[in-house]
Structure 1
Amino acid sequence: MTDDLDLDELAADLADFAPQDKKGGRSAREQRIIAGFEEVQRFAEANGRAPAHGESNDIFERLYAVRLDRLRGLEECRSLLAPLDKQGLLAGVVTPATEPVETIGDDELLAELEGMGGASDITELRHVRTAADKRAAEEIANRTPCKDFDNFKPLFVQVKKDLDAGIRQTRRFQTMAEIQPGEFFIVGGQIAYVAEVGAEFVTEYDRRDSRLRVIYDNGTESDVLLRSLQRALHRDEAGRRITDPTAGPLFSGESGDGDLASGTIYVLRSKSDHPAVAAHRDVLHKIGVTGGDIARRIAAAKHDPTFLMADVEVIATYELFNVNRTRLENLIHRVFDLARLDIEIKDRFGQPVIPREWFLVPLFVVNEAVDRIRDGTITDYLYDPKTAALVRVDKAKGGRRERDQSRKT
């Protein structure tokens, strides 16, 4: 996939080497060579020096350094470019890369000028593993002894027992699925436990990533990037996610629509000035489930009738793992059905909309419901608005029958 190979940032670089028609007396090959050199010149102008090799340098600088070496090393290129070389870049000495060119990934050397002196086209790439793939494999393989393994050993013993008893199951890891602390995986033939997830940071290509502390059942551990573990699991034919035994009735044994590695239950409070909302603001909550970013989900709340055409604030969130998002949300709404807000909102086009995810429920009851979801007992309970509490299903139904009877009489 493009995301896995980290190639999208270099798309513009490829465009410079697209075949062109012969213009101004120059062949398409010559024009491509000139275009490649002009990229190197722009780098030198911006940085005040020629590009250099080195793993600590920017990917683009390393790319330009290899390209410049190729241009310096070919008489054909030096003759063609000499009139354009105002910065004296071609006069430099060809410096060997810190790692053999053949081992550098094609995402780092996407514009490598392989084959200039032969029959290969300038756009042809070497068939090697990408740098991202190699880094992922190296990080997974680079393990050290886990000094406090005694603290984790009981967890692995229990997981193996759960697998033997069918309490836990294994699933094929989905491409770039989320990874959360406390999850177990099978990678490289060993059970891996995600003990810690470090602070999230943004890479130079605006991708979110984190450092993980991963413990393995052979008593070793690794400090690995989240995205590296994702890649390793995806590329490992035997790579698996081990399910959480607390998923209970929410767990889906088969992959289907709405299936997620994890889900977030969110509770929102509306800032709407609608009379029906303002009168019950402290106990009126929108309860939903998402697998994405909550901040992004609510960013346009004031334009969305689902959010009562008003801004909202996040009151609480709860993380759950190995759940079916759709089934979980339906279950929560069934539990609180008797407290569902009956309100009609006009959307921005003036059309009436009836939101279905707002409930007159105190936050402490939502907390209790989440606890019962986690221990698997939630299916025995419904919310009773009369007592503002979760009650067993038989009692809740009895109360409903009494209310229905009183209405008839």
Structure 2
Amino acid sequence: MSKRDNTASTSVIEDALAALFDSDTDGLLDTPEKTAKVTSNDRLERAFLEIVEFRRRQGRAPSSTTREIAERKLGARLDGILANDEKHEALTHLDEFDLLSVPEPPASLDDLLDGDELDLLEDESGVLDVSTLPARKRPAEDFDAAKRKKATDFENFEHLFKAKHRELADGVAKLVPFPGQQHIVEGSFFILRGVMLFVAEVGEPEYKKSTVRENRRERLRVIFENGTESSMYRQSLGIRMGEKDGQAVVPTSFESVLAEDVQTGYVYVLRSLSDDPQITNIPNLYKIGFSRGPVEKRIARAEHEPTYLMAPVEIVASYRTYNLKTSTLEHLLHRVFAPSRLRVSQVGKEGRVYEPSEWFSVPLPVINQAIDLIGSGEIVNCSYDAASQRLVERN
């Protein structure tokens, strides 16, 4: 085919195509326009226009703290735009309500709160409400005044206060400056602002973690001689004793209690309240013993225990011991008064026969004299003459 024939053929095809396109009155053969690419700036503007539309409808800017989810999203979006200088500048031309204008900073906190016309500082969550929080206690306030309550079983402790006051009056006990928190133990007596108090119980240790360490504390049951009680912590009592020049009640026969002293137990003297004639007819009958814990707790069930002659007992005297081995002292005193030991058998509820070994028929003044010799250690050089009822120097 010649070049002229090719040209003629192409012309015919073009004419046919032109006629076809001209006949497409419905635009079926039109090429669709290419969709413009959405840029990040376009998305930013669309997002901001949603905020503008909210302002137009509601008459206020959206809040990021409201509980309405849709508004909160718009409010958070506005907060993000305000915090970004580039976004702020890119959207200025769309800001018909001055949503992006930055107000002058307030001169004071009062100006800030007074100028909060849109309630942007409104605390809907209540985080800033401190009205229900406990007020911090000032050191000058009377300690635990609001926490004290009437001791319903004060009759169980009243005689202890009377006995301790008698000991102070007779010179058997004395007052010393508060020796330290480590001496706040069960059975101890203190004077705080002229009022005597008794530490009846020390609770189990509690541990509270802080950012620095784990703090140990114990809650007490403290009985006051005015018939009230408190459940303060040991640390609280120690702090108040130190602040208010508190005093400890200690036996006169012992040396002053020092901070480094270690309590080892109690020396106690008991009188039997039995109504058994075989017991009541024995003159000057006392139980001399030692306890590692408070004597009051030790004798709580005396009427059920053969060692107390199956009867209630009365505490005649109780002394705390420091830096002394309790078992050794018990052996020494019992050896001194061995000639006047009570020889009796008691049958327990389970049918077992007991022979109490800590009851002695010895005048109380002689017992007090022996206890005085404990502090000096001279008790090892003494023995008891049952005939003359007095302590004599051992040969």
TM bin, normalised by shorter chain, reads: 0.3 to 0.5
Instruction: Report the TM-score when normalising by structure 1.
Output: 0.39
Instruction: Report the TM-score when normalising by structure 2.
Output: 0.40
Whose Rg is larger? 2
- Which one has a larger percent helix, Structure 1 or Structure 2? 1
